[in-house]
Structures are given as C-alpha cells and as structure tokens.
Amino acid sequence: MAAPPSAPVPRSPCYLKRPAPGPQCSWGMEERAAAGARCRESPGPLRAAAVPYFGISVQQDDILPGALRLIQELRPHWKPEQVRTKRFTDGITNKLVACYVEEDMRDCVLVRVYGERTELLVDRENEVRNFQLLRAHGCAPKLYCTFQNGLCYEYMPGVALGPEHIREPRLFRLIALEMAKIHTIHTNGSLPKPILWHKMHNYFTLVKNEINPSLSADVPKIEVLERELAWLKEHLSQLDSPVVFCHNDLLCKNIIYDSTKGHVRFIDYEYAGYNYQAFDIGNHFNEFAGVNEVDYCRYPARETQLQWLRYYLQAQKGMAVTSREVERLYVQVNKFALPLEEIENVSLILLVSLLC
C-alpha cells in the first residue's frame, strides 16, 4: 500500500484540522469485538466455482523445480524440456515466474509464491474469492489453481506502469475508468462495513506484539499511535465516502497497460475488499510520488485530480457530472490521502512492513 510522504509538502487546501491532543481513546473496541465474534470480510460470490488445489510447496529461493511440477499438472501436454521460464522482479511481497512454450507467450502460466510471513497481513482465502469475483466481472485473469504457498493464474500481456506513466492523461483516464468499473461491483444486495478499521486494528496488534520492542527511538510510542488511529477513525468516518468494492493496493506495478487493446487491468488482489471509495483513489494518488525515490512534489496537482475524478465519476454514473460532485469527491480523496503535516506519526502500514 501507499505510504505517506517523508516530509511535509503542501498538497491540497482540504486538510483535516487536527484537534489538540486529548486522552487516549479505545479506538479499537469495535474492531476487537468484531474479531472476538470472528468477523470476516465479505465472502464474495456464495457459489464461486471451485479452484483446483495441489499439495505442492514451491521454495522461494529455488522456484523453478516446484513451478515445473505445477506446470505438469496444469499443462500435461507440454513437454518439460520445451517449457521456458521468465522471472519477474517487481513483486514486493511475492515472487513470480512465468512458464510458457510459445515464443509469443500466448498460453502462459504465472506461478506466484507468497512471501514469508505475509499470512500475517493477508487472508489468502479471501484473496481467492476476490480473484474469482473480479474475474467474473471481466477485471481479472483466469485463476488456474492454488497450491500450498501460492497460486497460478493467466498471464495478461502488457506493461507494468511506473510513476512517470500514471501522470499521462491518456493513461490516467484508463486507470480512472477501470477503477470506476471495479467500484460498481456488488457481491450481494447489501454493502458490508469498510474493512479499513478492521485491517488497521489487525496491523496495530501486529505492531504491538511483533515489532514493538525493536522500534527505533524516532518512531512514536504505541500510545501515540493509538491516539492517532482513534483520531483518524473519528474524522474520516464522518466524510460520508461511499463504501464500494476496492482494490486497496493500486501501486503502479499493479497496473498493466495493454497498448494493443488500449486498456489497463489491475493485478494482485491480496488487499481487495469493501472500503471507502475515497481511500482507494487517495491511495493511488500517493503513488504519483514514486516508490523507491519518493518525491511528493509529484503528487497530482488540483487540476490533474479534478480531471481524473471527472473521468471516474462519469464512468461510474454513466452520465455527465457536475463540478460540485467532482469537488466533493476531491475533498474526500485528499483527506483520505493523509497529508503528513496533518498527522503525527509515520504510516502504520510502513511500520508493519518491518514484519516482512
């Protein structure tokens, strides 16, 4: 997920006004109650087609032998000596290898191996349900199988985008249209609660239990983080941002552009689920700043955002939208994007990344 800037940079007039520090709040009471009741995320389609499972474990430091065993199950007509492989290096928490026999990779199987300890952050059963749901709506590739520590799915031709690409109007229009399409997916008649606070409660618990003793001196104390989270929940919950089905991790490298078909598709659905509309968009806008060399001077300017949001709203509603509608979403998005000058601490997500 996107992390907040490393230094305060003016970005938008729509900042949250932080109150004076108050007493510590039990911000996670509802989340703890939900966890006690074994509350889970929306299960997606109740009768999704079964996905084949193979009791094969693929070693992270030696992927090819395990990957080829899976290929023998999925493509028994392929001759082992003809199978070609290609490693991908853009994954943050997973390792990925492509297996194919044809030069044009027309029929290509991607084998993705989960990163160590990522089960602390990701509900893998829910990820498979998300995969199937998005596939049913034409937003994801085919899911071929799961195995002990990963899954195999269809290769989608195209180019993984970078920060320099998502700022191009012709491409960010396609991204806005695809996000609008995903945000209109409904698994049933009613919308569940946003997963944001439940997830953050889980992450906060990991911070306390797993890495608290090793936190550096410049990281705020647990009590400060807890107050910060209580404040975030209090203010962001009042924005009335619609709850929609979200990707929740729209990194540049999770966006694949197919120039031959003129569209983009999103990949990696580990964090997908119902969440605030403005969170998904704001999280993506943070990606404009880059990943390895973060520069928040590249965060999208107001006019760029308004154009992006107009594309999005028109696609979502299927009709022209007013400037007032665009402006309202702009305000919500920039509050969920969380300018660093409005919060005391570094991102909790960044802290949890220390676990991986």
> Which parts of 75-123 fold into alpha helices (H)?
none
* CA 228 to mean position of chain CA atoms: 22
CATH architecture of the domain with range 53-154: 2-Layer Sandwich (3.30)
pLDDT in tens, 219-232: 777 888 888 889 88
Q: What pLDDT shows up at residue 351?
A: 45
Domain boundaries defined on the chain: 53-154, 159-355
pLDDT in tens, 109-155: 999 999 888 888 899 999 999 999 999 999 999 999 999 999 999 99
- State how far the alpha carbon of 189 is from the alpha carbons of 44, 138, 185, 310, in Å: 11, 20, 11, 27
Q: What pLDDT shows up at residue 41?
A: 44
**Mean pLDDT of successive 10-residue segments in the chain (356 residues)?**
42 50 52 47 49 94 93 96 86 84 92 89 92 95 96 95 94 98 81 88 83 67 84 92 95 95 95 95 93 87 97 96 97 84 42 42
Residues contacting residue 292 through CB under 8 Å, at least 6 positions apart: none
Q: What pLDDT shows up at residue 189?
A: 62
CATH top class, domain 159-355: alpha beta
Residues contacting residue 170 through CB under 8 Å, at least 6 positions apart: none
Q: What pLDDT shows up at residue 296?
A: 87
Q: What pLDDT shows up at residue 161?
A: 95
Contact 137, 186 (CB under 8 A): no
Q: Sign of the CA dihedral 68, 72, 75, 76?
A: positive
